[in-house]
A and B are shown apart, each in its own frame.
Chain A
């Protein structure tokens, strides 16, 4: 009860200090300050360097599950497209890294701090650079909005995250908290993000691709391709499990694109360049 009183007082103080007309005589200042500190601590978000460090760990785990496709030309191409898109966003200066995973599964992953991966299986089902741009922009939106961090919090790992936020990690390799957090972060891929976060990433993905000058129909076009796939096939199992139904995603994009995208359907989809760049990887 006393603590509560102090907390309320401390809260009021922030607002009412200039017009102070209270009797402050009975307040335990030290305790009040501690309470305020505690409240601040609980709500502290991890900062950008920490976000990047966590993302690196998660990305390293992903690459442990599936290595990079051993094709420098394709990797570079995907990075050029991704970097251009990143420049259209509110976080253009993150150390964005894009990669194609050598795996036949159809899926794509984003890790905090700017790590974006798509599988070879998904890339092979694309038909243009605009489609690639749409998928990369969808994944980038997860990073922009920190959806992954929210998913970690929801998975009852909020404490790990706030501990990490408050204690500077000095000894990188040996820190148990970071290791635990990275493994919690990797598990998010098996569970999936919040469905509303997926819808948000669809909306943002379409817009980011449009900002980059691409034909904005790339992302819905990929979703339509995926819609026709057999969900019972193990190659698509995890993607279908961790995402809202393709038909629901298409319906929402359809609603959004009903206005504001007039005249954009003639924008380049760069299907020729895409075919050339993919083909260049063949020996």
Chain B
């Protein structure tokens, strides 16, 4: 047990490009040759198999399972909760959402932060609120944004829960 943890830790350290993440299949799952449903099925992975995550791409995840590698449906996987502080899988690893220019925010008294206690004792910051409002955009700009991203409106109804 201890050995395997050590191994995972070492692996995490050893891999510089993308941390090794592991997940389990929650159902019998087809391993596909590509990230789409009519791709060739390479193998069948039984429920509760441990797989190594190679890459995530929208509804699909590229995995290694034993000697085979291919794509499975994202929602057929559940990640193992990290207890050692897994490295970021987001773009944060590649860049920082950095600040630009000088800060326009004013110094306020009290301890800042979003912990439970800090939220309970939060004091208003009306100046920052005005800044936030100034960043709001009109519908026309949103439409333009959608067009340039080739986003097309769809009719989809809300769905009830179980």
User: Which residues of A pack against B, CB within 8 Å?
Assistant: 56-57, 59-76, 79-81, 83-84, 86-88, 92, 95-103, 105, 107, 115, 119-120, 123-130, 182, 186-187, 189-190, 196, 199-200, 203-204, 207, 210-215, 217-218, 220-221, 224-225, 227-234, 237-238, 241, 247, 250, 252-257, 260, 264-266, 268-270, 273-275, 278-279, 281-283
Q: Interface 1/0s, chain B 107-136, versus A by CB < 8 A?
A: 010101111111110111110110111011
A99 touches B75 (CB 8 A): no
Report the minimum CB–CB distance from A201 to chain B (whole Å). Answer: 11
Q: Interface 1/0s, chain B 139-152, versus A by CB < 8 A?
A: 10111011001111
CA–CA, A70 and B136, complex, Å:
15
B116 touches A241 (CB 8 A): yes
B74 touches A224 (CB 8 A): yes
A204 touches B118 (CB 8 A): no
CA–CA, A217 and B76, complex, Å:
13
B129 touches A190 (CB 8 A): no
CA–CA, A186 and B7, complex, Å:
44
A204 touches B75 (CB 8 A): no
A102 touches B99 (CB 8 A): yes
Beyond the given A63-B129, A124-B96, A253-B75, please list 17 additional residue pairs across the A-B interface where CB-CB is below 8 A: A61-B123, A65-B113, A67-B125, A68-B132, A70-B102, A70-B105, A72-B135, A80-B141, A83-B141, A83-B142, A97-B132, A105-B115, A212-B154, A213-B150, A228-B86, A265-B59, A266-B36
Contacts of B120 in A (CB 8 A): 186-187, 190
Contacts of A265 in B (CB 8 A): 36-37, 58-60
B residues 1-56 near A (Cβ < 8 Å) are 21, 36-37, 56
B108 touches A71 (CB 8 A): no
Contacts of B105 in A (CB 8 A): 67-68, 70
A64 touches B108 (CB 8 A): yes
CA–CA, A71 and B96, complex, Å:
11
A207 touches B91 (CB 8 A): no
Report the minimum CB–CB distance from A202 to chain B (whole Å). Answer: 9
Contact A79-B136, Cβ < 8 Å, known A66-B113, A225-B90: yes
CA–CA, A256 and B159, complex, Å:
7
Contacts of B122 in A (CB 8 A): 61-62, 64-65, 186
Q: Quick one: closest B residue to A56, CB to CB?
A: B129
Report the minimum CB–CB distance from B87 to chain A (whole Å). Answer: 10
A127 touches B99 (CB 8 A): no
CA–CA, A86 and B139, complex, Å:
9
